[in-house]
Chain A
Amino acid sequence: METALPGVQGFLYPNEIELQWSVLIVLYPFITGLVAGAFILASLERVFNVQAVKPTYRLALLTALAFLLVAPLPLQLHLGHPERSLEMYLTPHTSSAMAMFGFIYLWYLMAVLLLEIWLDYRKEIVLRAQSTPGMLGWIYKLMTLGSYNISPQSLEIDDKVGKFITVVGIPSAFLLHGYVGFIFGSIKANPWWSTPMMPIVFLFSAIVSGIAAVLLVYMLISFIQGRKTDMACLDTTARYLLYAFLIDFGLEMLDLIHRIYEADESFKTLDFMVHTQLYTSQVLLQIIFGTIVPIGLLALVQLISLSEAARKGIYVISGLLTLVGIFAMRWNVVIGGQLFSKSFLGYTTYKMEFATREGLLPTIILMLLPFAILWALVKLLPPWQDEAGHSHSS
């Protein structure tokens, strides 16, 4: 059908021509997912006492914090009236998934992540507060809250409380990202989003992306600091990545098969979209290169014995592919859900801008920002105790 509007195919309700949620909203679930995933990896060590992943414990917590601090920024930047965003806390509408997310975010940041990091690092904070001069010393002094007691008894209490917080933290991390999935999954008007699978698919893809991110960050920091990576830790983490990936992939395929088999009124439209506009990001990036290839590589390590260098190489490649795949998954949900008309009669296109408020440039900056924060956090609260190398913390 001919049309005067560029990028529009078939019929859309006129208000649908413009996309409402940009690449920034793609970034938001991606970042939140990294937070939840990283935290869940850290909790593994603490709650289930998995010794092998201990070297990444603190790093995972700091990674989670760095990303969590950035998570609300893309939302803030996207709002028509960022100055009103506090209303979300002042007059939260209890029937809105988005309003409730604000509180879950705060709970997770304040009651879980900050507290757990503080308890875990308290001994070092106190020691550094006593030995570090200048500005930095004052920061440490502030963090001690004026209590310098690091007696064995007090540290034992910290450990107990920390464990309790971790136990509370795991469902909180599940909630954090499950809720992001619910924000999309609960929109009955949009068949691409509206599925009860959404929270659980988001959750497992979050775990996958978080583990992959910690794996990569661990290798990167070790490389930069010239520190030997703990191969047992890498192997175990990679194994968890594979397991989480298999569940995630299974869930996503279940959703797909269900849609194809039911073939309801929206199916023709969505099927066409996946085969045209979303082909690259969904079929190629998300499913083939972002899921099947890394699963294959990670499974290969389990099946045949490879040299350390080969395993490391595989972990780097599959970790990177995983992150690309999960980002593509978020893209396909957020952008894909807006490309078709709710009349099921037409399609629009998303043209990403560059140096605008919601363009590619701020997206890249926001994606790099957590790494800058993480760098500062690692300086402030080194995840490894001694300067020389391998000994474990806590």
Chain B
Amino acid sequence: MSSRFKDQEHLIRMGVLLLAGIIVFFVLRGVMVPRDFGEYGHYRGGALEDNRARPAVYAGRKACEECHEEVVAARKGGRHAAVGCEACHGPLAKHASDPAAAKPGRPDAKTICLVCHLENVARPAKFPQVNPLDHGEGKACSDCHKPHQPKIS
């Protein structure tokens, strides 16, 4: 019995070594896995918070409308009433949180209108489109169309 043990001793030593390796692995795992891992699923719960933490760049039209009531009134019922403010004026979260910090520029009426309204066959046929070469005689669009109420009455 003891000689059999002796002949297997090296195998037992190897077994202990492998076992020790496995134990070290589980200990390391216990220490190194982030605490919030698995909070909701197979990921770090804190990753949700990380994704939320990003500051917004676009304020959202609600924020604009809170101060600029006169524009809301001007746009009411018009063809552009549904267009978000920042679609033309650009991202303005900074301005919304501190009106003095970032002043929005006035969009250039010669180019901004064409971003949407320049003729393009891929655009839906019903969508109003123009070719500036044969429309408007080279004037700025805003000379005739008020951007907040574009229909000429």
Contact = CB atoms under 8 A, between A and B. Distances in A.
- Contact flag (A, B; Cβ within 8 A): yes
Interface string B22-36: 000100110011000
A153 B3 contact: yes
Contact of B25 (A89, A111, A157): A89
A86 B18 CA distance: 19
B10 A147 contact: yes
The 6 closest A-B pairs by CB, nearest first: A147-B10, A154-B7, A145-B13, A153-B7, A90-B33, A147-B9
A158 B42 CA distance: 42
Interface in A66-90: 86, 89-90
Contact of B32 (A86, A115, A122, A153): A86
A147, A151, A161: most-surrounded residue (chain B CB, <10 A): A147
B8 A157 contact: yes
B133 interface: no
Contacts of B56: none
B7 A151 contact: yes
A139 to B, nearest CB: 16
A110 interface: yes
A391 interface: no
Interface in A86-115: 86, 89-91, 93, 110-111, 115
B21 A110 contact: yes
Interface string A188-205: 000000000000000000
Contacts of B42: 91, 93
Given A89-B25, A90-B29, A91-B37, A149 B14 contact: no
Given A118-B14, A161-B11, A90 B3 contact: no
27 contacts: A86-B32, A89-B25, A90-B28, A90-B29, A90-B32, A90-B33, A91-B37, A91-B42, A93-B42, A110-B21, A111-B18, A115-B14, A118-B14, A122-B10, A146-B13, A147-B9, A147-B10, A149-B6, A149-B7, A149-B9, A149-B10, A151-B7, A153-B3, A153-B7, A157-B8, A157-B11, A158-B11
Interface of B: 3-4, 6-11, 13-14, 17-18, 21, 25, 28-29, 32-33, 37, 42
Contacts of A89: 25, 29
Contacts of A144: 10
Interface of A: 86, 89-91, 93, 110-111, 115, 118, 122, 144-147, 149, 151, 153-154, 157-158, 161
B43 to A, nearest CB: 8
Interface of B is mostly: helix
Contacts of A118: 14
B106 to A, nearest CB: 32
Contacts of B29: 89-90
Contacts of A153: 3-4, 7
Contact of B18 (A110, A122, A146, A154): A110
A154 B21 contact: no
Nearest to B22: A110
A254 B9 CA distance: 51
Nearest to A118: B14
A217 B88 CA distance: 70
Contacts of B8: 154, 157
Nearest to A95: B42
Contact of B7 (A90, A93, A111, A157): A157
Contacts of B3: 153
A143 to B, nearest CB: 11
Contacts of A158: 11
Contacts of B28: 90
Contacts of B6: 149, 151, 154
Given A86-B32, A90-B29, A90-B32, A145 B17 contact: yes
Contacts of B25: 89
A153 B9 CA distance: 12
Contact of A91 (B4, B9, B11, B33): B33
Contacts of A93: 42
Nearest to B13: A145
A157 B28 CA distance: 34
A144 B37 CA distance: 41
B41 to A, nearest CB: 10
A118 B29 CA distance: 28
A216 B27 CA distance: 44
Nearest to B25: A89
B9, B11, B21: most-surrounded residue (chain A CB, <10 A): B11
Nearest to A147: B10
